[in-house]
A and B are shown apart, each in its own frame.
Chain A
Amino acid sequence: MRGLDLEYMLGLVPVILGYVPLTLGMAAAGMVLALILASLLAVERVFRLPWIDWAVVLFISFFRGTPLLVQLFLFYYGLPQVMSFLTSIDGVTAAIMGLTLHFSAYMAETIRAAILGVDRSQWEAAQSIGMTQLQMMRRIILPQAARVAAPTLVNYFIDMIKGTSLAFTLGVTEMMGAAQKEAAGSFLYFEAFLVVALIYWAMVELLSQGQKRLETYLNKAYAR
């Protein structure tokens, strides 16, 4: 047993914090792209378009059925051997792509369930006034589904923030990579990784607070 080197930890905090923008940036980019992709997948799953439905089912099944780490390795280290044009992709881009594909599969299921949860009467009312399916989805169904799905989607965003640490394995120096490098010099691995853990924890706690407020706001929905 030895005591914690608190002084070292305090000194490390600003160093690791310097990588927070990269972590949040990767997560935010992944979240925006995953939301767009997941919405398209979910709408397809609701309407079951002939010809593409099987492909969407396969996509969702694969990305939910395999670990994120395996997917990242497959795409970053494996795929460029088969498709040479992918060799030029850097680790950050690959990580964002991986996070997008992985989480879009989960989010698609959440959004699909939320869409199907919108009351039948809302679909019929939209149809009865002569809306096209696109108008109905955009103006009536998706806004209502979004309210239902939002808290769960925030959970996925939290998972995604934590998932960015895997970019370390693609050679990206993010929070985890920076800590690893620092520790390699000082040999204080426990302190370095503890600082990383605490910073992740703090970020997620802050987001959870935001999530609670969002839920309170959404529960008051449409009652004015």
Chain B
Amino acid sequence: MISVRGLRKTFDGTAVLNGIDLDIAPGERVVIIGPSGTGKSTLLRCLNFLDQPDAGHITIGDVTLDADRATRAEILALRRRSAFVFQNYALFANKTAKENIMEALVTVQGRPKAEAEARALDVLAETGLAEKADSYPASLSGGQQQRVGIGRAMAIGAELMLFDEPTSALDPEWVGEVLDLMRRVAARHQTMLIVTHEMQFAREIADRVIFMHGGKIVEEGSPEQLFGAPQDERLQRFLRRLSQ
């Protein structure tokens, strides 16, 4: 169970998140859409404490924390309940594909190296990159790097996977393979919170779509509702612009 209450974040006097309330059920796949600069990425980053929220409560599984008095230990615990997929992949440059996936398992979860390695090779096989196990990120294509990035998040076995515009930095030719992998992750009823501009993909895999505007959740519902019968005028405008 994931729950967010009254989440606020201000950058240099500008409110980016204006009190976000959000519940996500186990196994639910939630996609956030909306114009640029409306706080979608900031919301994800705050859930992982990559940006420190100013106020609000966050619960992921058995960890609940109050943003304005979170201790370092609580922040670590929260981060270990979720896995983050970055727009720019953010693979560890000094580690091979396999080591990138093993890192969290060995260093953070304290699992034996052999077990972590076996898990990493399994995950690489699932992402279709078994033969790239010993390659460094610098020698992988953008699509391959992002698949390793997703693999790294999968291997952790986190309650929640956060995807921050995972295909936005990719050349068009690599978008398909990354979305395919995300479909496979979704098919396992992994709880996912995804920020994306791929509307077709959102329609296809989302249980629920959230439209954000001005740091707030303006409208949410099933893909059919949101894309088929949008209520809010700002959402209608946003969708109209996309279809042009």
Residues of A within 8 A of B (CB): 119, 121-122, 124-132, 135, 139-140, 143-144, 147, 222-224
8 cross-chain pairs, A with B, having the tightest CB-CB distances, nearest first: A130-B80, A121-B90, A128-B84, A125-B90, A129-B104, A222-B136, A130-B79, A223-B138
Q: Please pick, from A121, A127, A129, A223, the residue contacting B156 in the complex, using a CB distance under 8 A.
A: A129
Chain B interface: which size bin? Answer: 20 to 34
Residues of A within 8 A of B91 (CB): 125
Check B76 for interface membership: any CB of A closer than 8 A. Answer: yes
User: Does the CB pair B86–A224 fall under 8 Å?
Assistant: no
Check B92 for interface membership: any CB of A closer than 8 A. Answer: yes
Residues of A within 8 A of B135 (CB): 224
Could you say which of A121, A125, A129, A223 has the most chain B C-beta atoms within 10 Å of its C-beta?
Answer: A129
Bound CA–CA A222/B139 (angstroms): 8
Interchain Cβ contacts under 8 Å between A and B, 22 examples:
A119-B93, A121-B89, A121-B90, A124-B50, A124-B86, A125-B90, A126-B92, A128-B90, A129-B79, A129-B84, A129-B108, A129-B152, A129-B156, A130-B79, A131-B104, A140-B92, A140-B94, A144-B94, A147-B94, A223-B136, A223-B138, A223-B139
Closest approach, in angstroms, between the C-beta of B43 and any C-beta of chain A? 15
User: Does the CB pair A130–B108 fall under 8 Å?
Assistant: yes
Total residue contacts A-B, CB cutoff 8 A: 71
Check B134 for interface membership: any CB of A closer than 8 A. Answer: yes
Bound CA–CA A137/B138 (angstroms): 21
User: Does the CB pair A222–B79 fall under 8 Å?
Assistant: no
Check B32 for interface membership: any CB of A closer than 8 A. Answer: no
Check B48 for interface membership: any CB of A closer than 8 A. Answer: yes
Check B18 for interface membership: any CB of A closer than 8 A. Answer: no
1/0 contact string of B95-113 vs chain A (CB within 8 Å): 0100000011001100000
Residues of A within 8 A of B33 (CB): none
Residues of B within 8 A of A121 (CB): 86, 88-90
User: Does the CB pair A130–B86 fall under 8 Å?
Assistant: no
Residues of B within 8 A of A143 (CB): 94
Residues of A within 8 A of B134 (CB): 224
Q: Please pick, from B50, B93, B139, the residue contacting A128 in the complex, using a CB distance under 8 A.
A: B50
Bound CA–CA A172/B83 (angstroms): 59
User: Does the CB pair B50–A222 fall under 8 Å?
Assistant: no
Check B142 for interface membership: any CB of A closer than 8 A. Answer: no
Bound CA–CA A224/B134 (angstroms): 8
Check B166 for interface membership: any CB of A closer than 8 A. Answer: no
Bound CA–CA A91/B11 (angstroms): 57
Residues of B within 8 A of A129 (CB): 79-80, 83-84, 103-104, 108, 152, 156
Bound CA–CA A128/B82 (angstroms): 8
Residues of A within 8 A of B136 (CB): 222-224
Q: Which of B106-137 contact A (CB under 8 A)?
A: 107-108, 134-137
Residues of A within 8 A of B80 (CB): 129-130
Bound CA–CA A143/B156 (angstroms): 23
Residues of B within 8 A of A119 (CB): 93
User: Does the CB pair A127–B92 fall under 8 Å?
Assistant: no
Closest approach, in angstroms, between the C-beta of A114 and any C-beta of chain B? 13
Q: Please pick, from B90, B93, B156, the residue contacting A222 in the complex, using a CB distance under 8 A.
A: B93
User: Does the CB pair B90–A124 fall under 8 Å?
Assistant: yes
Bound CA–CA A139/B50 (angstroms): 19
Residues of A within 8 A of B104 (CB): 129-131
User: Does the CB pair A125–B86 fall under 8 Å?
Assistant: yes
B77's nearest neighbour on chain A, judged by CB, is: A130
Bound CA–CA A222/B48 (angstroms): 28
Residues of B within 8 A of A122 (CB): 90, 92-93
Closest approach, in angstroms, between the C-beta of B204 and any C-beta of chain A? 26
B78's nearest neighbour on chain A, judged by CB, is: A130
Answer whether A135 and B86 are a contact pair too, CB < 8 Å, given A222-B137, A224-B134: no
User: Does the CB pair B90–A139 fall under 8 Å?
Assistant: no
Q: Please pick, from B76, B92, B108, the residue contacting A125 in the complex, using a CB distance under 8 A.
A: B92
Residues of B within 8 A of A140 (CB): 92, 94
User: Does the CB pair A144–B93 fall under 8 Å?
Assistant: yes
Closest approach, in angstroms, between the C-beta of A214 and any C-beta of chain B? 16
Residues of B within 8 A of A131 (CB): 104, 107-108
Closest approach, in angstroms, between the C-beta of A47 and any C-beta of chain B? 13
Bound CA–CA A128/B49 (angstroms): 8
Bound CA–CA A130/B157 (angstroms): 13
Residues of B within 8 A of A128 (CB): 48, 50, 79, 83-84, 86, 90
